[in-house]
């Protein structure tokens, strides 16, 4: 028999001499026809076909995925919005927005707006046995938020101010030890915020400031940002995602398991202390949360018969989120402020004059005085959040049954939506001089040059902590530790940006920004 032919016995008959060349041609034709059909349908007949955007992005999911894998997705989305407007179709079933009104339609309104996309939380459920606050549906989210909110109330944060001050004191002390030399301010900002959130969440720090290094639990997070992004892509790609997951190396699976085990161990130790009869530990976030936690594993009960408690599995998942969100946001903000100020000497001079002129002694710098006496510092923080939002892409929402109306247009069920922070805050339609670091755009003023320059800024679109019932619980903590840390650093040190860190802000994004050293030379301020 010819090697290019074969015989096939079918039900007693024989289908013979079918050319393998014909089979290959058929397979090749299907390889061309299926993508072609998919592209034509998605571009011309899909329910989202009427929304603006490039045909390739609307035709194939893989185009956006490629931008995610390269780490340039935030820049590309900005380019698309500049070209196509406030709403862009960036994938067959995904729309991105940069308008202020989209915040209310997507994230606000009755019931918290459009629900988050639960597919992005499936990895979390695999690890911990339940979803945490971020990816739950409306009922589950409301139950978790009722339990978690007291830990982040104004009263609770006032109780935690000494904890924040203790670690800022330690940061300043360590910086004085290194005065005259070059330090990586990105690393030290992270050491500080991780120690703070570790103490507030688990009742014990990660000892990053004491040991001048990252705890392995944290190192895993930073070293696996790409894998975390791949995991989210896998969870949204159906059977192709299952195939991709099979290819994940065993070593990475083991490291992920170790990270989960460490999270559970820290939670369990804090629960053991709470259960001890002689537990005299000061109040922390867990003091409020553990009152509602059961020993049950798995997801909680969101039915009317539910008791409003949180299962142990849900607590594990939430603690993972609390630590990451409660540290990374503030550390990115502090690092961005330092880098931006050093790139704009005029702004740094103005801030230094404000901080050093507002207080007679360093002891006067407290969370309260930093908030009330330093308006330019608050403007610096707002501008730092604008030029470099800690979560550049935002949180995906998925339209539920019945569809939704966003900015006056009907959006069908199954559509993924987001207000893209980076693109919105760098949009020339929203902000004058969008690439300039200009804290004065956030200062109240009438009749001066700065007020005139930025009078048309669309500040309503600026929502770095989101809006509605799903807005970030940690906003108050972020401002508390950022104000205090920046004020104390500027009071104590003159800083010089090293040449190798001039382009520090040119970073790729894999869910979060890639981690690059921010090398700064510190000189202690002399006061006679």
Contact criterion met (CB below 8 Å) for 125 and 80: no
Looking at 1.20.120.1770, 3.40.50.1100, 1.10.630.10, 2.60.120.10, the CATH number of the domain 46-524 comes to 1.10.630.10
pLDDT greater than 90 at residue 480: yes
Distance CA 525, CA 472 (A): 36
List Cβ neighbours of 527 (8 Å cut-off, separation of 6 or more): none
Mean pLDDT of 225-233: 67
In this structure, what DSSP letter does residue 116 have?
B
Higher confidence at residue 445 or residue 65?
65
Specify the length of the chain in residues.
528
Residue 472 has pLDDT above 60, yes or no: yes
Dihedral angle sign, alpha carbons of residues 226, 231, 237, 243: positive
Which pLDDT does position 203 carry in this prediction?
A: 87
**17's tokens:** 């001499």
pLDDT value of residue 164:
96
Question: E strands, 413-518, where?
Answer: 416-419, 493-497, 509-510, 512-513
Quick check: 419 pLDDT over 90? yes
For 249-277, what is the mean pLDDT?
81
Mean pLDDT of 264-283: 79
Q: Across 37-46, 132-141, 246-255, which has the greatest mean pLDDT? A: 37-46
Q: What pLDDT is stored for residue 24 in this prediction? A: 74
Ranked by mean pLDDT, which of 8-12, 35-39, 252-256, 346-350 comes out on top? 346-350
Quick one: average pLDDT of 289-298?
A: 87
Residue 148 has pLDDT above 90, yes or no: yes
Average pLDDT over residues 145-153: 92
283 with 153: CB under 8 angstroms? no
Least confident of 74-88, 343-357, 443-457, 469-483: 443-457
36-44 own/partner pairs: CB under 8 Å, 24+ apart: 42/92
Contact, 233 vs 68, CB < 8 A? yes
What's the token pair of residue 441? 């755009």
Q: Is the pLDDT of residue 130 over 50?
A: yes
Both tokens assigned to 377: 């510092």
Q: What is the pLDDT of residue 281?
A: 63
pLDDT confidence of 231, banded at 50, 70, 90? low
Domain chopping of the chain, boundaries: 1-32, 46-524
For residue 261, pLDDT over 70 is answered with yes
* 274-282, Cβ contacts within 8 angstroms, sequence gap of 24 or more: 281/203, 282/163
Better pLDDT: 277 or 68: 68
pLDDT (0 to 100) of residue 351 = 98
As given in the structure block, the two tokens for residue 290 are 């553990």
Confidence of residue 15 (pLDDT cuts 50, 70, 90): very low
Dihedral over Cα of 198, 200, 205, 210: its sign? positive
58-72, 211-225, 382-396, 411-425: the lowest-pLDDT one:
211-225
Mean pLDDT across the stretch 149-174? 95
Range 297-323 average pLDDT: 81
Taking residue 448's Cβ as centre, other Cβ atoms within 10 Å add up to: 10
Q: How confident is the model at residue 245 (pLDDT cuts 50, 70, 90)?
A: low
What is the percent of the chain where pLDDT is above 90? 59
- How high is the mean pLDDT of the chain? 87
Instruction: Give 66's pLDDT tier (boundaries 50, 70, 90).
Output: confident
At residue 12, does pLDDT exceed 50?
A: no
Give residue 280's pLDDT: 57
Asked whether residue 472 is marked as a ligand-binding residue, the answer is: yes
357 or 220: which carries more pLDDT confidence?
A: 357
Determine the pLDDT at residue 13.
47
189 neighbors 334 (Cβ within 8 angstroms): yes
DSSP annotation of 43 reads: I
Q: How much is the average pLDDT of 120-133? A: 77
pLDDT at residue 388 tops 50? yes
Report the distance separating Cα 469 and Cα 151, nearest Å: 16
pLDDT of residue 464: 95
Residue 31, burial from CB neighbour count under 10 angstroms (0-12, 13-18, 19+): exposed
Higher pLDDT, 101 or 245: 101
Residues 234 and 48: their CA atoms lie apart, in Å, by 23
């Amino acid at each position: 028999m010819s090697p290019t032919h074969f015989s096939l016995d079918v039900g007693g008959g024989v289908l013979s001499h079918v050319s393998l060349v014909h089979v290959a041609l058929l397979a090749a034709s299907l390889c061309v026809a299926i993508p072609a059909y998919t592209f034509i349908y998605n571009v011309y007949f899909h329910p989202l076909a009427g929304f603006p955007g490039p045909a390739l992005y609307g035709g194939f999911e893989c185009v956006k995925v490629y931008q995610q894998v390269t780490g340039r997705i935030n820049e590309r989305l900005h380019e698309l919005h500049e070209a196509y407007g406030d709403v862009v179709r960036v994938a067959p079933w995904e729309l991105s927005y940069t308008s202020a009104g989209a915040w209310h339609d997507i994230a606000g309104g009755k019931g918290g707006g459009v629900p988050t996309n639960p597919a992005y939380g499936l990895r979390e459920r695999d690890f911990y046995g339940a979803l945490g606050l971020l990816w739950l549906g409306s009922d589950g989210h409301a139950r978790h938020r009722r339990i978690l909110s007291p830990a982040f109330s104004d009263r609770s944060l006032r109780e935690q101010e000494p904890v924040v001050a203790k670690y800022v004191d330690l940061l300043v002390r360590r910086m004085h030890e290194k005065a005259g030399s070059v330090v990586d301010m990105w690393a030290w900002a992270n050491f500080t915020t991780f120690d703070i959130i570790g103490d507030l969440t688990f009742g014990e720090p990660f000892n990053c400031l004491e040991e001048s290094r990252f705890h392995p639990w944290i190192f895993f997070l930073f070293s696996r940002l790409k894998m975390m992004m791949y995991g989210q892509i896998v969870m949204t790609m159906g059977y192709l995602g299952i195939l991709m997951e099979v290819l994940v190396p065993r070593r990475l699976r083991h490291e992920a398991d170790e990270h989960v085990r460490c999270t559970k161990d820290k939670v369990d130790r804090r629960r053991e202390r709470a259960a001890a009869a002689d537990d005299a530990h000061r109040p922390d976030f867990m003091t409020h949360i553990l009152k509602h936690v059961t020993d049950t594993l798995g997801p909680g009960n969101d039915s009317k018969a539910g008791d409003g408690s949180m299962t142990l599995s849900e607590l594990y998942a939430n603690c993972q989120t609390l630590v990451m969100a409660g540290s990374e946001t503030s550390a990115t903000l502090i690092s961005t402020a330092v880098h931006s100020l050093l790139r704009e000497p005029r702004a740094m001079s103005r801030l230094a004059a404000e901080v050093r002129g507002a207080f007679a002694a360093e002891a006067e710098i407290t969370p309260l005085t930093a908030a009330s006496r330093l308006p330019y510092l608050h403007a610096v923080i707002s501008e730092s959040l604008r030029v470099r939002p800690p979560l550049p892409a935002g949180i995906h929402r998925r339209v539920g049954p019945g569809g939704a109306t966003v900015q006056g247009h009907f959006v069908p069920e199954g559509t993924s939506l987001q207000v893209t922070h980076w693109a919105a805050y760098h949009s020339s339609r929203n902000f004058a001089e969008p690439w300039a670091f200009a804290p004065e755009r956030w200062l109240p003023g009438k009749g001066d040059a700065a007020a005139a320059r930025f009078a048309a800024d669309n500040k309503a679109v600026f929502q770095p902590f989101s809006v509605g019932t799903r807005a970030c619980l940690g906003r108050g903590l972020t401002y508390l530790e950022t104000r205090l840390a920046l004020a104390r650093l500027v009071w104590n040190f003159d800083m010089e940006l090293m040449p190798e860190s001039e382009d520090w802000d040119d970073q790729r994004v894999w869910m979060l920004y890639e981690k690059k050293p921010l090398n700064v030379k510190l000189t202690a301020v002399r006061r006679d």
